[in-house]
């Protein structure tokens, strides 16, 4: 029966990986899409070493539909340089979503930080709670549930 119970010596969970800051420790990363009122629409938790660009379209696909408005989609998507890639830009344009993302290797777009302020404040609000900043749950779905509970 002992093999069925989780042991306290087991660390992390399936969505943990080497931390970019301290490689000896495992960590998680939150990928978040929110509306203009700081309401999280979709959160994806991945290992800390997963590239941001791999989660862009999954976040857009995860936006819940609005009742009574079947064709509802965002007009624009704001992101930092971690979400920049030509395939993602092309797919967003194909979906008629304007990508407002700084290009890698180019100087910052003036004023983009003011627009991205909403997302940065949402991250600050979420990581203000230690339970989200330090991942204690081994199961990702339990960890993500606390994001929407707030």
Q: What domains, with CATH codes, occur in the chain?
A: 2-149 (3.30.420)
Q: What is the pLDDT of residue 6?
A: 53
Share of the chain above pLDDT 90, in %: 7
pLDDT reported for residue 86: 92
How confident is the model at residue 52, as a pLDDT? 86
* pLDDT tens digits for range 68-123: 776 677 888 888 788 888 999 999 999 888 988 878 777 766 776 777 778 888 87
Q: CB neighbours (10 Å) of residue 123?
A: 15
Quick one: pLDDT at residue 4?
55
Distances (CA, A) of 22 to 15, 17, 18, 86, 145: 17, 11, 7, 30, 27
């Amino acid at each position: 029966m002992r093999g069925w119970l989780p042991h306290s010596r087991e660390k992390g969970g399936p969505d943990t990986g080497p931390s970019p800051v301290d490689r000896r420790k495992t960590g998680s990363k939150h990928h978040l899409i929110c509306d203009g009122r700081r309401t999280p629409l979709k959160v994806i938790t991945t290992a800390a070493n997963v590239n941001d660009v791999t989660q862009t379209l999954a976040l857009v696909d995860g936006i819940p539909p609005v009742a009574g408005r079947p064709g509802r989609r965002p007009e624009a998507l704001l992101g930092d340089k971690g979400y920049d890639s030509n395939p993602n830009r092309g797919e967003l344009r194909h979906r008629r979503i304007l990508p407002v993302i700084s290009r890698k290797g180019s100087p910052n777009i003036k004023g983009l930080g003011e627009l991205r302020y909403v997302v940065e404040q949402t991250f600050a609000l979420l990581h203000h709670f230690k339970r989200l900043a330090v991942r204690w749950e081994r199961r990702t779905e339990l960890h993500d549930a606390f994001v929407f509970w707030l």
